[in-house]
Structure 1
């Protein structure tokens, strides 16, 4: 299992960030550091352009790691932190930090999420938060 948290996303600005600014956390069942590096890349590349709200999907447009066909992300609540540890984190500035979970998915699942909603996708029997080689969800 590998986990990483970004630093720097919250240093940017986005017009939708009213209740705080995000940082990202990724946890996957892997030892491949590509997953953690890509989380930093996504934060850096999309800073100011993506609000990173729960339910947002991000098409990475290529395999995230050689060990998996996953090529997109879903933003949702962090799975390994308690709410008190990821929401409204006071940092001594005029804004607070909210940590958002970054979950690898298949780009084809973005349509499933758009059609059925995040909650239904999240509760699908084939969805495994940490397995980077799980079966694709098609319905």
Structure 2
């Protein structure tokens, strides 16, 4: 059974990982690439949404915010997002994959679509359930 403090701890870990990926992605020669710029923008947007979710969990008194089904869904979403962020971190950290064309193709074909999807899903996760 997942509780609010466990989700907040997971969010803190995820935020730290996203910041590390932003630093890795923004520090190399790839920063001039349009796909890297788009990935950086998406990661910054996701970071903002993660902060909003954390604030929502911390300060909201509404029952739907801390409902068990929502907490379970958030936990699963955060764990799958963490695996994507870990993959990005391995590829774009210094000493990771060295081929720029390979990094660019991987970012373009795989990670940009995933990041856009995660951004949308996190925004939807902030909304109350409809009856």
Does the pair score TM above 0.5? no
Q: Which has the higher helix share?
A: 2
| TM-score (norm. length: structure 2) | 0.29
Q: Which has the higher strand share?
A: 1
| TM-score (norm. length: structure 1) | 0.28
